[in-house]
Structure 1
Amino acid sequence: MSDERVTLKNGLKMPKFGLGCGAITRENTVCVVNAAIDAGCRLFDCALLYGNEPDVGDALKKVFESQKVKREDVFITTKLPMIGNHPSRVEHFLKKSLANLKTDYVDLYLIHFPVGFEYSEEEVFFPREDGRIKLDYSTDIINIWRAMEDQVKAGRTKSIGVSNFSKEQIQRIIDIATEPIANNQLEVHAYFQQKELRKFCKDNGITVSAYAPLGSPGRREAFIGSQGIPQVMSDPIVAGIAEKHGKSTAQVLIRFLFQDDVTALPKSSSAQRITHNFNIFDFTLSTDELIDLRSLDKGEVGRTFNYLEIFEGLDKHPENPLAPAS
């Protein structure tokens, strides 16, 4: 596997390909983490609200103790949960993630979503009332960012970034930041390429990583909007390119993002599928093939994580990232 890396604005190097840990279950964590390491994966994308940080942390600790790889050779990302979107709670939740992951630091800490949820209990990541998520309408992303910067100064994270943030929200942070935004993690796949936002990030030295690079066919039902799961893996153009190279459509879609300077983070709970997904370094997409794949972009119609449906009332929140640009 290629060890190609992208350089973050603070000089830290992040692998161009990694494992999204959201689908890993307790029973198969050790198997999955070892399969990823053996396949050459050196980036593990975690989050407190995935609920499996302790298991991933245990598995990685065993890998490091076995001296198969060193901690400094692995890039660990985790994220501030929405109930932690308050300056006074950033440090607490990062320390909790560090304890879970059995590490003194993470390489990248992201604000998982720009909208805060009301904090009630430590483990209630999606607080509800009458079936609706309880949104915190006082969310202050500027002061949250300042608290994130404090975590860099304290050595708990080497870099900080955001996830699901809009251009306008990113610009507001850029205007006051003393620590650069290293990364913006977004839904990106062939049907939803977010070209304008990605260009804005690139112009400002912000790398982009992609969740749902295959359309997230295995996501939880609660996160499936009315548009359903995109059938990007069965698209005839993708299938034709895959057949030409003797590859699967998943491998073509991941290779597409890799060549388009997006760090793909496919999720899987299968060691066999992880090994398969990571096998993208023995072929290269041609210029014409890249053009064909870029032409599949459906714009907003291709968005499948429709947070306006998932989080009812989001349209009234001042930090709604899907609000039309002013």
Structure 2
Amino acid sequence: MSPGLGGWSGNTPEERENGWKFMFSALKAGYRLIDTAYHYGTETTTAVAIKKSGIPREEIWITTKLHHQHTPWVEKYFQQSLDNLDTDYVDLYLLHWPMTSKFVEDDPEPLDEQGNVLLDDTRTFNETWADMEKIYESGRAKAIGVSNFSVKNLEKLLETAKVVPAVNQVE
């Protein structure tokens, strides 16, 4: 067994750019699991840390997450994550949140006047899960799962899921 490292490294661009340093140190200390996410802005720094470590990719477990803006562009976001991570597969791909935010091309987190995330109720997480199942079936995600789902959300997802989520990661 090996310890895992959460890949969130702060809110500022400088903190995110320097995230590779703590990831690199963790890898050198024996960590072999990195949990990151598109939304954290640390996928590229994860790739830098892995490359600088010299540890073969197949010896490191990478978990990343579909940004909560899971619109019909699931494949696009997944490919962006693969590109950011400089890999052709991830070990675990998670649906980050059960909610769907409105899609705004150049705004990853559109907010209303009060600072709340603008939600879109026209697409369900069941539809998004079906898109994630295609990614799993392609072999580019060795496992798929969910994050921050309640029991009620999981029951709803299982009504249509062909692939049972491997995990439900909750904070």
- Give the TM-score taking structure 1 as reference length: 0.48
Task: Tell me the SS of whatever aligns to 1:176.
Answer: coil
1:47 CA drift (Å): 0.5
Are 2:19 and 1:29 equivalent residues in the alignment?
Answer: yes
Q: How does 1:87-126 map to 2 (within 5 A)?
A: 88-122=72-106, 124-126=107-109
- Aligned residue for 1:171? 155
Question: Is the Cα contact below 8 Å between 1:115 and 1:139 reproduced in 2?
Answer: no
Are 2:138 and 1:146 equivalent residues in the alignment?
Answer: no
1:55 CA drift (Å): 1.7
1:31 CA drift (Å): 2.3
Quote the Cα distance in structure 2 between the aligned partners of 1:79 and 1:30.
18
- Aligned residue for 1:62? 52
1:113 CA drift (Å): 0.5
Q: How does 1:127-276 map to 2 (within 5 A)?
A: 127-131=110-114, 132-187=116-171
- Aligned residue for 2:31? 41
Does the C-alpha gap of structure 1 residues 27 and 152 become closer, same or farther in structure 2, counting only changes over 3 Å?
Answer: closer
1:81 to 62, 67, 83: 67
1:178 CA drift (Å): 2.0
For 1:18, the aligned partner's letter is G
Quote the Cα distance in structure 2 between the aligned partners of 1:104 and 1:61.
14
- Aligned residue for 1:250? none
Task: Tell me the SS of whatever aligns to 2:168.
Answer: strand
- Give the structure with higher Rg (CA): 1
Quote the Cα distance in structure 1 between the aligned partners of 2:65 and 2:17.
23
Q: Which moved more, 1:92-101 or 1:150-159?
A: 150-159
Task: Tell me the SS of whatever aligns to 1:55.
Answer: helix
Query: Which structure ranks higher in relative contact order (CA pairs < 8 Å, sequence separation ≥ 6)?
Result: 1
Task: Tell me the SS of whatever aligns to 1:129.
Answer: coil
User: Runs of 4+ in structure 1 displaced over 4 angstroms?
Assistant: none
Quote the Cα distance in structure 2 between the aligned partners of 1:97 and 1:27.
16
Quote the Cα distance in structure 2 between the aligned partners of 1:27 and 1:169.
35
1:27 CA drift (Å): 4.8
Task: Tell me the SS of whatever aligns to 1:77.
Answer: strand
Does the C-alpha gap of structure 1 residues 39 and 20 become closer, same or farther in structure 2, counting only changes over 3 Å?
Answer: same
Quote the Cα distance in structure 1 between the aligned partners of 2:117 and 2:156.
26
Between the two proteins, what is the percent identity of the paired residues? Answer: 39
- Give the TM-score taking structure 2 as reference length: 0.89
Does the C-alpha gap of structure 1 residues 27 and 119 become closer, same or farther in structure 2, counting only changes over 3 Å?
Answer: closer
1:120 CA drift (Å): 0.6
For 1:74, the aligned partner's letter is I
For 2:19, the aligned partner's letter is T
1:26 CA drift (Å): 4.0
Count of residue correspondences? 166
Quote the Cα distance in structure 1 between the aligned partners of 2:143 and 2:86.
18
Which consecutive unaligned segments of at least 5 residues does structure 1 have? Answer: 4-14, 188-326
Which consecutive unaligned segments of at least 5 residues does structure 2 have? Answer: none
For 2:57, the aligned partner's letter is R
1:126 CA drift (Å): 1.5
RMSD: 1.6
